């Protein structure tokens, strides 16, 4: 499990999709404009997200991206893992049979911690996060003030 700006981009973009879920697909160009990320970079990230079945692309005019599954079934951990896609040689899948015992010790300790972090992030779904009152407040405030009017609040099933 790693956390970097890459993961942040992916997560915020997915939040964007979730927020506008009820309207049609969201184009990468929109996200690129709003969040100030280059289009091509987004394309790379979404290519990975699509391969992991987290988003679905809709081609042709009026197309864009949608969540491939309900927001209740997409966890933060899944999003981050999708774009990081480390073979995770650090944990599980030991490369060498662990020569030094000491190395093995700290290795195992870190893995324990790593698993804990992962399951924490895996316990947070997009829907759950977006339905938090403080988050909803932010979303509504933004909605009232600006373009893309009339977007209904995210309704979590």
Contacting positions for DNA (CB under 7 A):
2, 4-6, 9, 25-29, 36-41, 43-44, 46-47, 50, 57-65, 84, 86
Residues ≥6 apart with Cβ < 8 Å to 63: 25, 27, 57
CA neighbor of 11 nearest in space, from 136, 121, 140, 134? 121
Give per-residue burial for 66-76: e unless 16+ CB within 10 Å, then b.
bbbeebeebbb
Q: What is the largest CA-CA distance in the chain?
A: 61
Q: How far is the CB of 60 from a copy of itself (least distance, A)?
A: 25
Q: Interface with a copy of itself includes 85 (CB under 8 A)?
A: no
Return the residues of window 93-152 that contact a copy of itself according to CB under 8 A: 100-110, 112-113, 116-117, 120-121, 124, 129-130, 132, 134-135, 138-139, 142, 145-146
Q: Which entry of DNA, a copy of itself, none binds 118, CB below 5 to 8 A by partner kind?
A: none
Q: Which entry of a copy of itself, DNA, none binds 18, CB below 5 to 8 A by partner kind?
A: none
């Amino acid at each position: 499990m790693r956390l970097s700006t890459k993961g942040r981009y992916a997560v915020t973009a997915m939040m964007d999709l979730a927020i506008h879920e009820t309207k049609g697909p969201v184009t990468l160009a929109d996200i690129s404009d709003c969040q100030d990320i280059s289009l091509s970079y987004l394309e790379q990230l979404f290519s990975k997200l699509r391969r992991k079945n987290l988003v679905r692309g809709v081609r042709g005019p009026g197309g864009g991206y949608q969540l491939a599954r309900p927001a209740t079934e997409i966890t933060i951990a899944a999003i981050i893992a999708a774009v990081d896609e480390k073979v995770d040689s650090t944990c599980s899948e030991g490369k060498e049979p662990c020569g030094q015992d000491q190395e093995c010790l700290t290795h195992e300790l870190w893995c324990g911690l790593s698993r804990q972090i992962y399951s924490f992030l895996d316990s947070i779904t997009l829907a759950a996060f977006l339905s938090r009152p403080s988050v909803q407040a932010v979303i509504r405030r933004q909605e009232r003030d600006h373009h893309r009017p009339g977007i209904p609040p995210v309704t979590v099933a």
